[in-house]
Structure 1
Amino acid sequence: MNSNSKRTQKLLSIERYTKVIDIYNNRNEHNFLYAKFSNGFQKILEYPYEVGDSISKKKGDSIEYIFRKGKIIENNLLEESRKNGLLK
């Protein structure tokens, strides 16, 4: 299994139903922006989430749905990874 395949499988295996409760500079990680979620999880800010965003992603689906101020934003994790050079 090559690295592209592993990364794709990892993205597809994510299951997330949570809300963004804070966005902050992580002093322990070179002041990179991090998002803190209502489920206690914290991760580097890879997508421009906003505080209050509700996020829903089913396992096996590449689309993450972001509910923001009455709108639904579709974030295709595989496409974002390709744009950022993480997938070929």
Structure 2
Amino acid sequence: MDNNFELDKSSKKPLLIFGLIFGLIVFFTVFYLNYNSTDLTKEQLLKINRHTKVIEIYINKNEHNFPYVKFSNGSEKIMETPYEIGDSISKKKGDSIEYIFRGDSIIKNNLFEVARRDKILK
């Protein structure tokens, strides 16, 4: 069997055009996401609506041993804030401040500042 694969001139031109179009789409997508990443991150943070309680903190072996927090509403997320079991969390949609109720104290957690600290926001 002869496994030599060659393209004739009529096949090379459409493949080249397809490759250029695909490359441009990828380039503009990456450029758009990089240019608008700050706005997209802020938008995602403002969409969060959470009124729940921390019921468990654990190491997620499936996610490279990162610490995760489990809430009473069944949701789970990577632990970006030093929560403690029993903390009540309140975050209104449209607000960047998350309130952590711990014992007799209220801790204000500005999610924009956390994102800046983690270099997600510029």
Calculate the TM-score normalised by the size of structure 1.
0.97
2:83 is the alignment partner of 1:49: yes
SS in 2 for 1:48: coil
2:93 is the alignment partner of 1:70: no
Query: Aligned-pair distance for 1:85?
Result: 0.6
Partner of 1:30: 64
SS in 1 for 2:89: strand
Structure 2 residues not aligned, in runs of 5+ = 1-31
Partner of 1:81: 115
Query: Aligned-pair distance for 1:30?
Result: 1.2
Query: Aligned-pair distance for 1:27?
Result: 1.1
- C-alpha distance in 2, partners of 1:10/1:63? 13
CA deviation digits over 1:64-86, x for unaligned, max 9?
00000110000000011111111
The count of aligned residue pairs is 88
Partner of 2:17: none
Identity across the alignment (%):
64
Which runs of at least 4 in structure 1 moved beyond 4 Å after TM superposition? none
The structure in which a higher percent of residues are strand is 1
CA deviation digits over 1:3-45, x for unaligned, max 9?
1100000000100000000000111111110000000001110
Alignment of 1:10-21 (within 5 A): 10-21=44-55
> Which of 1 and 2 has greater Rg?
2
What is the letter of the counterpart of residue 81 of structure 2?
Answer: Y
The structure in which a higher percent of residues are helix is 2
Query: Aligned-pair distance for 1:57?
Result: 0.4
- C-alpha distance in 1, partners of 2:48/2:85? 21
Pairwise CA RMSD: 0.9
Calculate the TM-score normalised by the size of structure 2.
0.70
